[in-house]
Amino acid sequence: MTTARNDPAELRSPHSTVAILGAASALGAPHAGPASGPEALRHATVAQRLDALGIAAEWLEPLHPQPPSSPATDMNARIEACAEFARRLADRLAALPTGRFPLVLGGDHAIATGTWRGLGRRGGRAPGLIWIDAHLDSHTEHSTHSGNIHGMPLAALLGTGHPALTAIPGPALDPARTCIIGARAWEPEEQALLAGLGVRVFEMSEIERRGLTAVFAEAMAIARADPEAGFGLSLDLDALDPQAFPAVTCPEAGGLDPRALAEVLMRLRTCPDLVGLEIVEYRPDLDPGRHGAQWVAEFAAAALGPDGASLQARESRYGAANYAPLPAVFQRGEGVWLWDVDGRRYLDMMSAYSAVSFGHSHPRLVGALVTQAQRLALTSRAFFSDRLPVFLERLCTTFGFERALPVNTGLEAVETALKAARKWGHEVKGIAPERARIIACEGNFHGRSIAIVGLSSNARYRAGFGPFPPGLERVPFGDADALEAAITPETAAFLVEPIQGEGGIIVPPPGYLSRCAEICRRHHVLLIADEVQTGLGRTGRLLACEHEGVRPDGLILGKALGGGLLPVSAFLADRAVMDVFRPGDHGSTFGGNPLAAAVGTEVLALLAETRPWERAERLGAKLVAQLRQAKLPGVREIRGRGLLVGVALDPAFAEAGEVAERLLSAGIATRDTNGNVVRLAPPLVIDEDVLDAAAHTIITVLRTYPGPRASTPHPHPAFIQ
């Protein structure tokens, strides 16, 4: 029995509501535990997890089985009861209207006979099916060793087995479009039946050899061989490694890693021909901490969440157009790696502009964040907290200053430094009111507030935002004589980046910073170093100023100070400068909050213990040498210090933005910066072998770049998974 054919893409449009149907049956299992799985999941986070991703979800009225008419020891009676339940389940699914995407939560795996016959009727023909399971579930009533019906559904769906199970209305599965992933326990009869039918079985040994990503891609090709029929996925949770997911009826040693499975399930997001998802065999009685329930929610979200293209479109529709991101939508980071919402992996060679120096989700930093968030996150500075004094002390002792003023973003820290410098100029140096001047450098990037943009030489940053505050001037970067010529008795401070990051990874001439420090001392001008991007080990020293033995009068820190988790920044100076601030002069509700202080303190502890600048110096020198020795076409210069490296391109050869897109296609995430430069700034924890592989990929991309008439970026397989 079939219904009128439906286009799978119409059944699962981007605007579909996920209809969650709990099939609360354990009739086919040796334990009643799975029957309570759907209700437990209803009270867990499945719908909420989907809603948080922008996917509408609704729970349908759950299905409950009728008890068997004969004692549970009577197999035929149990099969009849399972079949009756499966028929009702199939009817419910076949009748789902267009615009409802079915997510079926079991129950034991015997419910699958109803799920996939019903969805076959709904679509008008049998879908292809990916069956993820530790077992083959392909027994007949004659071959079963255990008598458990949840070991029979796949055979029944393929048209063999007990007549009551095979007779459930709906088309039988096509063996050529059916495959099993993760099998590691079966009886010979099952294996022989599937081999005779031609069902592809990907055993765990093959997955371990080839990798789950490659196996899943092949399985999708099998299941999607008939695009008009669509395909589905049935996940028995005993496919997972029981050490990570013990809440199942029939655990088997070994198995799939839950995180790896979630990553590959994201490939389903881009499949308009996906007609249904089924997740079964969850045992809440074996999951007291509800970690298993969280994984079920994660699997559903991975498979059914929005894909990258739709998320980009949504951001473009609702967000201000003040950024132009590259076309990758990231959803997870770990160490030096990023994963997008379509399941691809990338090497992070940008570190969020140096904010992720310790890598994504560093366990100690996440631990500090979670622990403090559970205790106290915010009080404002109207009160003391137990975390801020420790953070301030560690800041001052680590960097050798007497005072620290904590704020949130690097921009706030720069604004704090400007205010301190002007007030110092008036109160200490004796500059007349409203006359204090600040000097910065051409090509600088200190942020984008009105005052800071007034210091910028980038016409794009300034256009349309004037008038700017007076008393802001610029001199050429790297020219100490120009600085001295610009200083007047009204000059309060010189604000400088030891290495210009956004300016194009510009390293000044040797001796420049030390000469500037001497000039500032002689003219009684504050030297303020903006080390938001260069500080905390990025350039091969704790601070980039240390390359020339310079101790500035004021130090601006940010980005990496928050461990890639929170915006944490600070302005540091001695009392002679900082004590110009009095209560009410300057502040921030969130500045120095307990949560930020806890994370910042742990960052400083990691700095002291691991000294990441030492390996940054060594690995950065090796990376620069590799790129220079490659003598790449169209490359004007390789420059930088430590793990802050710029590849300056001849604009006649290539636009750095286009090269960054090609690198993204090759699995390397980074961006272009000022002066047609590609930025290379990985987390400081990067492994040397990984960095070597990255250098090889970068060299390959540049060597194969077609030049001025570049075509659409094409993928290189190096880091894409």
Side-chain half-sphere CA neighbours of 548 within 13 A: 19
Residue 372, CA distances (Å) to 335, 362, 377, 383, 435 in order: 22, 16, 7, 17, 44
- Look-up of token digits 């620290």: 404
- Catalytic option among 241, 287, 559, 653: 559
d(CA 207, CA 213): 9
Under 8 Å between Cβ of 91 and 119: no
Concatenate the DSSP letters of all residues of 126-187 into one string.
Answer: PPEEEEE-SB-----TTT-SS--GGGSHHHHHTT-S-HHHHTSSSPPPPGGGEEEEEE-B--
d(CA 130, CA 435): 73
In angstroms and rounded to an integer, the radius of gyration of the C-alpha atoms of the chain is: 31
- Look-up of token digits 């910042």: 600
Closest CA relative to residue 16, chosen from 96, 99, 103? 99
- Catalytic option among 231, 445, 477, 494: 445
- Side chain identity, residue 16: S
SS3 sequence of 337-363: EEEECCCCEEEECCHHHHCCCCCECCH
- Catalytic option among 287, 530, 553, 672: 530
Q: What is the DSSP letter of 309?
A: H
Under 8 Å between Cβ of 368 and 599: yes
Backbone angles phi, psi at 312, to 5 degrees: -60, -40
- Look-up of token digits 């308009």: 272
Q: What tokens appear for 694 in the block?
A: 């990255």
d(CA 181, CA 212): 9
Q: Residue 75: its pLDDT value, please?
A: 73
Q: What tokens appear for 159 in the block?
A: 């048209």
Side-chain half-sphere CA neighbours of 21 within 13 A: 29
The alpha carbon of 181 is separated from its chain's Cα centroid by a whole number of angstroms, namely 26
708: cis peptide before it, omega within 30°?
Answer: no
d(CA 138, CA 130): 14
Under 8 Å between Cβ of 230 and 274: yes
Give the SS3 label for residue 332: strand
Q: Residue 438: its pLDDT value, please?
A: 97
Q: Is 445 a catalytic residue?
A: yes
Count of positions (residues) in the chain: 721
Side-chain half-sphere CA neighbours of 401 within 13 A: 25
Under 8 Å between Cβ of 505 and 673: yes
Give the SS3 label for residue 278: strand
Q: Residue 44: its pLDDT value, please?
A: 77
Q: Is 530 a catalytic residue?
A: yes
The alpha carbon of 258 is separated from its chain's Cα centroid by a whole number of angstroms, namely 16
Q: Residue 306: its pLDDT value, please?
A: 92
d(CA 152, CA 164): 12
Q: Residue 66: its pLDDT value, please?
A: 81
Q: Is 423 a catalytic residue?
A: no
pTM of the model: 0.90
- What angle (nearest 5°) sits at the alpha carbon of residue 443, between those of residues 437 and 444? 55
Closest CA relative to residue 135, chosen from 236, 34, 205, 206? 236
467: cis peptide before it, omega within 30°?
Answer: yes
- Side chain identity, residue 339: W
d(CA 350, CA 578): 33
Under 8 Å between Cβ of 355 and 533: no
Under 8 Å between Cβ of 182 and 137: no
CB atoms near residue 704 (< 10 Å): 12
The alpha carbon of 148 is separated from its chain's Cα centroid by a whole number of angstroms, namely 41
Under 8 Å between Cβ of 594 and 378: yes
Per run of 10 residues, the mean pLDDT along the chain (length 721 residues) is 59 75 91 93 88 92 80 73 94 94 95 97 96 93 81 92 91 97 93 96 97 97 95 97 95 95 95 96 95 95 93 92 92 96 94 96 97 95 94 98 97 96 97 96 93 90 91 96 98 98 95 98 98 97 98 98 97 97 92 96 97 97 97 95 97 94 96 94 98 97 79 50 57
- Look-up of token digits 């560093």: 362
Q: Residue 72: its pLDDT value, please?
A: 52
The alpha carbon of 163 is separated from its chain's Cα centroid by a whole number of angstroms, namely 48
